[in-house]
Amino acid sequence: MDRILELTHNQPYLLQAIGSELVNQLNTRNRAPATMEYLNIAVEKTPVSAQAYFHYARANECSDDEREVLAELAPGKDIGQDQRRTALRGLLRKEIVERDQNSYRLSVEERRP
């Protein structure tokens, strides 16, 4: 459970999405209880099944400046603290990015198939 909370940053939609994928993995294999192996498979599948969530957050909850910052951060690029401070503060408040020492990164990485 701690790993799921860490990966999702307690974002309700992502908690539900990982939980759903995990249940699907267990049901498909007629297995219980959930192990880290099944959780890892569910985590790999969740960004694809939750793609609408990432698109909505980017398209509807972010300003143009915030979208530019997200484009610079993806995939895995870091930007310095002095760049676009207002946009970064907004993205931090929305928990879309997080501070990592002297840089920022996406708080939940979106993986594409």
Is residue 54 situated within a structural domain? no
Q: What is the tens place of the pLDDT at every residue in 14-70? A: 889 899 999 998 998 888 888 888 888 888 888 788 888 878 887 888 888 888 877
Q: Is residue 112 part of a domain?
A: no
Rounded Cα–Cα distance for residues 79 and 73 (Å): 7
Position 111 in a domain: no
Whether 63 contacts 90, CB under 8 Å: yes
User: For the chain, how many structural domains are there in total?
Assistant: 2
Residues of the domain holding 90:
63-106
Q: Is residue 32 in some structural domain? A: yes
* pTM for this entry: 0.57
User: Considering the domain boundaries, does residue 55 fall inside one?
Assistant: no
Residue 105 forms beta bridges with which residues? 98
Are 91 and 69 contained in the same domain?
Answer: yes
Q: Is 108 helix (H, G, I), strand (E, B) or coil?
A: coil
pLDDT-derived band at 112 (thresholds 50, 70, 90) equals very low
Say if residue 69 is in the same domain as residue 95: yes
